[in-house]
Amino acid sequence: MLLVKKRYALPTFILTFLIYLVFTTLPPGAERSYVEHHSHPIHDVTEPAKDDDRIHWTKHAEQYPISDYVSLPTTSPSPIPQIQYDFPAESWLARMWRRRKQNAVKDAFKHAWKGYKDNAWLRDELSPLSGGYRTSFAGWAATLVDSLDTLIIMGLMDEFEDALEALEHIDFSTTDSIQINVFETNIRYLGGLLGAHDLTEGKYPILIKKATEIADFLYGSFDTRNRMPQSRWDWTRSASGQTIHPSGNTILAELGSLNLEFTRMSQLTGDQKYFDAIQRITDYLESAQKDTMVPGLWPMLVDARSLRFSDPRYTVGGMADSTYEYLPKEHMLLEGRTQQYQRMYESAMPPIKERMLFRPMTKDGADVLFSGNIYAGTKANRKKVDAQAEHLKCYLGGTVGIGAKVFNRTDELTIARKLTDGCIWAYDIMPSGIMPEIMYLSPCDDAENCPWDEQKWYEDVRARPPDHANIADTDEAAQMLIEKLGLVPGVAEIADARYMLRPEAIESVFIIYRITGDTKYQDAAWRMFRNIEKATRTEYAHAAISDVRQAKPKQLDYMESFWLAETLKYFYLIFSEPDLISLDEYVLNTEAHPFRRPS
């Protein structure tokens, strides 16, 4: 969920082209390290083939051992305000319609789960058009593990018991993948096991057993000179006793989004090494936070080897997102026993509000917000926000909403709602009723007074011609581009028209509904779900789509595990009783796995 395309427009063509090159070039290792696609169904889906000659991970002496672990804080907890709205009793009619919608979501999940179980059992991902499978996350049955707590939440306990039986066959000590994406493995596998463990209150020992296996495996990626993890981990080097080094180009989110899972491991097992590992990262991020090119924020790429922050690109979207998301959530999981995460959050929010948030110009006058990007490499562009709307950024409304409640920043709840409303608006304006991966909007010059200006929209469209073509400075040229590119009013460019079954929009819609009790968010969720179900349903499951500008978009042959772990879970929860996964009892990781708050 980290792969994104970045573009920044500057007044001159030369600067535009240079910045375009910078932001469309993915950093080394940004691609998945190992993806294998099988276009035909597998016949024996009981257990992946084993090869006894493969390298296996075992515990061994570390190259750079820790003599004294940083332990979980033991100071008294600080009171954390209530997050959820006090929902009144609902009428029987409201309950009936809510449950009908909830059951529709459950039916969609059961359809996708059956397709996975019948055609890709114990594999990472189902290919929803061909009925084949993909190996994309080390081959450890990513969809199965990622979906465990969704099965519990939806009451599908027979399916859950089948998944637990299959879990016995997963060997987390070996893989055909040469590199391990530590971040993805952490949030999907470790997070999935811990979420299922917490929901079942430790009833199934295999869950914490397997969680410990994968956590101990991942811990090996921290065995570097400065204890920063090698985020794209050459695990076979570590397994054979060779030295590893953190990368000079580490994606921020991959470094700063290990907190919740490793903290929960220390809370559950009493082993402080997990918390020690992530606390060193947190201290490193906090120490540099006010000295970056955009004080309060961290750039997209971090030099984890030399501990430098020289990359000029800043975003709260892909490549950075969950680092910011985890600040209030880690505060909650630690029961407010340290104020460190509150300090970091409160340092990040001012530059986010002042420099990244923008109101788009809309024909209907919708007062909504989005978060853009900053390129801080040149003085001329340091204060200019690039008006990129990205589906991955839609998590921000929920994060700001939680921060507003947890840290008593009540004035920011309005911002949280406007950010969430912006993503709903982006869904509603598309012919498919679904927001694209990446689009560029016409930003308002004045966020308080922003009437529709057709000429400004035309100018913004002409400023982003496809393939850097020379476009005449006329209304007719802009209108031709608008028609050719399928742009709707207020949208200057659609840089990536796909929908990848992503959860970020419904995530914030769910959180803001639980915070405010405003039923308009349930209404929006139902519109979103119906449009997604219509466009993505296949014979086997659900598929990503190629172009949301089309009423009947072409489907693509992949379905990431987060469709079952996150997207359908959030749709189900927004139509559930509010005490099911209450935000006052659970913290959800960035893959929507619920960790029980200790208090």
Active site residue 437: yes
Selecting among 184, 261, 325, 460, the annotated active-site residue is: 184
- Segment among 149-163, 366-380, 451-465, 578-592 with least mean pLDDT: 366-380
Write the pLDDT tens digit of every residue in 504-521.
999 999 999 999 999 999
Q: Which residues are annotated as a binding site?
A: 590
Q: Token digits for 405?
A: 């409640």
Collect all residues with Cβ–Cβ distance below 8 Å to 192 and sequence separation of at least 6: 145, 146, 147, 148, 149, 565, 591, 593
Selecting among 437, 493, 547, 560, the annotated active-site residue is: 437
- Return the pLDDT at 101: 98
In a domain? residue 68: no
Nearest to 165 by CA among 185, 186, 144: 144
Higher per-residue pLDDT: 30 or 556:
556
Collect all residues with Cβ–Cβ distance below 8 Å to 537 and sequence separation of at least 6: 108, 111
Selecting among 504, 507, 547, 591, the annotated active-site residue is: 504
Average pLDDT over the chain, rounded to whole? Answer: 92
Alpha helices for 465-552 (secondary structure H): 475-485, 504-516, 520-536
In a domain? residue 481: no
pLDDT band at 467 (very low <50, low <70, confident <90, very high): confident
In a domain? residue 64: no
The answer to whether residue 579 scores a pLDDT higher than 90 is: yes
95-132: b (≥16 Cβ within 10 Å) or e: eeebeebbebbbebbebbbebbbebbbbbbbbbbbbbb
The answer to whether residue 20 scores a pLDDT higher than 60 is: no
- Return the pLDDT at 54: 86
Active site residue 321: yes
Q: From CA 482, how far away is CA 462, in angstroms rounded?
A: 9
pTM confidence score? 0.93
Write the pLDDT tens digit of every residue in 125-144.
999 999 999 999 999 999 99
Q: Token digits for 388?
A: 């990129």
Q: Where are the beta strands (DSSP E) in 388-476?
A: 388-390, 438-441
Q: How far is CA 515 from CA 86, 417, 472, 583, in A?
A: 9, 10, 49, 9
- CATH for 406: 1.50.10.10
* Max Cα-Cα span within the chain: 70
Q: Token digits for 235?
A: 């695990």
Q: Where are the beta strands (DSSP E) in 190-342?
A: 232-233, 250-251, 301-302, 313-314
Cα radius of gyration (the chain): 23
In a domain? residue 195: yes
Active site residue 168: no
In a domain? residue 293: yes
Selecting among 125, 216, 261, 321, the annotated active-site residue is: 321
Active site residue 560: no
Q: Which residues are annotated as a binding site for Ca(2+)?
A: 590
- Return the pLDDT at 10: 41
The answer to whether residue 43 scores a pLDDT higher than 50 is: no
Percent of the chain residues past pLDDT 90, beyond the cut: 87
Collect all residues with Cβ–Cβ distance below 8 Å to 160 and sequence separation of at least 6: 148, 151, 152, 196
Q: From CA 396, how far away is CA 400, in angstroms rounded?
A: 6
In a domain? residue 471: no
The answer to whether residue 571 scores a pLDDT higher than 60 is: yes
Number of domains in the chain: 1
Q: Which domain range does residue 311 map to?
A: 13-51+73-452+489-596
Q: Token digits for 279?
A: 């606390």
pLDDT band at 77 (very low <50, low <70, confident <90, very high): very high
536-542: average pLDDT:
98
Write the pLDDT tens digit of every residue in 189-240.
999 999 999 999 999 999 999 999 999 999 999 999 999 999 999 999 999 9
The answer to whether residue 25 scores a pLDDT higher than 60 is: no
In a domain? residue 7: no
pLDDT band at 382 (very low <50, low <70, confident <90, very high): low
369-389: average pLDDT:
86
